Amino acid sequence: MKREALVRVSYGSQGVVELQDGSQIDCKYRRSVGRPYCGDHVIIESPSDHSTVVSRILPRRNEFARADARQRKQVVAANLDQVLVIVAPRPEPSRDLVERYLVAVHSLGIQPVIVLNKAELMAESQIQPENPLAHLDDYRRLGYQVLETSCKTAPGIGALENVLRDRISILVGQSGVGKSSLANCLIPDLELQTGALSRVTGKGIHTTTTTIMYKLLGGGRLLDSLGVWEYGLWQMDQPELARGFVEFAPLLGHCKFNDCQHNSEPQCAVRDAAETGSVESWRYQSYLRLLQQSA
């Protein structure tokens, strides 16, 4: 009998899938089918009383990826609605950190949301002009949703809970910004869910290396993966990089040269817009730095 299921955990040649009635079972992957990712919808079969296999991976809406040690794209999850980019006053984000996340998420066709965690520390922090946190209003003007959260005091996590409801999301950000604290606040039964998944496999789950999908009490799913915590941008070509800057979109195709890098070429619509102020200069400079890094 063939049944549709949702992959909650995927590791090696097997994983844990959730059936439509909410039950969970351990299953193996046929080599001819390939390896599903956390978040995949699959078709499973039980050729015997003692084994269940994935016989088909259903079409994906998108894939979420990070860069491996060689700057190659490495997929870690599938079928996400949004990526929550977590930043905080401490540790201070590097100059181009948020742009790196946003470019990557846009290229994957997923909606990014910027989350300022530890918001209570903003009042006592000296935010320098090159700090991404100095540009939160600029991000809002560009159309990004920017939320403020705190696990200790106001404003709490209510705004984030609303954004997560009935959606499939993943948290990304540099170490120390409070991802684990947010996950524990958002998923009060996190350890219980992890334990239940481990019992299905009978082998335990390595939560420090495996992407895991958790159920949210208010509806929706949250993926947790330390594998994307220190996030790197894979090797990306120039047109893909430029498309990651949403304000460039009306300008692309209006440069003198079709293969314009938006760097030092004459009659470049993007550079001209940065010089006249219709594109924020700090964003354009970030683009140039990322362009140089990808060369």
Chain segment 24-48, per-residue pLDDT in tens: 999 999 989 999 999 999 999 987 7
Mean pLDDT of 122-138: 95
Mean pLDDT of 10-17: 90
> Which residues, in sequence order, are CB contacts of 173 under 8 Å at separation 6+?
85, 86, 87, 88, 117, 179, 229, 231
Residues forming CATH 2.40.50.140 domain(s) in the chain = 3-57
Rounded Cα gap, residues 123 and 167, in angstroms: 32
Specify the pairing of strand 51-57 against strand 63-67: unpaired
Mean pLDDT of 71-84: 91
Whole-number mean pLDDT of the chain? 91
Length of the chain: 295
Confidence (pLDDT) at 58: 98
With left for phi above 0 and alpha for psi between -120 and 50, is residue 221 left, alpha or beta? beta
Q: Which residues are bridge partners to 142 per DSSP? A: none
Q: Which residues of 62-87 are buried (b: 16+ CB within 10 A; e: fewer)?
A: bbbbbbeeeeebeebbbbbbbbbbbb
Q: Quick one: which of 213, 215, 116 has its CA closest to 165? A: 215
- Superfamily of domain 238-294 in CATH is Probable gtpase engc; domain 3 (1.10.40.50)
Q: Kindly indicate whether the domain formed by 3-57 is annotated with CATH number 2.40.50.140.
A: yes
- pLDDT above 70 covers a percentage of the chain that reads 95
Q: Are 262 and 271 in contact (CB under 8 A)?
A: yes
Rounded Cα gap, residues 206 and 176, in angstroms: 20
Chain segment 179-218, per-residue pLDDT in tens: 989 999 999 999 999 899 888 877 666 555 578 999 999 8
Q: Are 213 and 171 in contact (CB under 8 A)?
A: no
Chain segment 209-257, per-residue pLDDT in tens: 578 999 999 899 999 876 454 556 778 899 999 999 999 999 999 999 9
Residues forming CATH 3.40.50.300 domain(s) in the chain = 63-228
- pLDDT above 90 covers a percentage of the chain that reads 76
With left for phi above 0 and alpha for psi between -120 and 50, is residue 87 left, alpha or beta? beta
Q: Quick one: which of 22, 187, 164, 172 has its CA closest to 81? A: 164
- For 136, the enclosing helix (H) or strand (E) is helix 136-141
Residues forming CATH 1.10.40.50 domain(s) in the chain = 238-294
For domain 63-228, give the fold.
Answer: Rossmann fold (3.40.50)
Three-class secondary structure of residue 224 per DSSP? strand
Confidence (pLDDT) at 198: 87
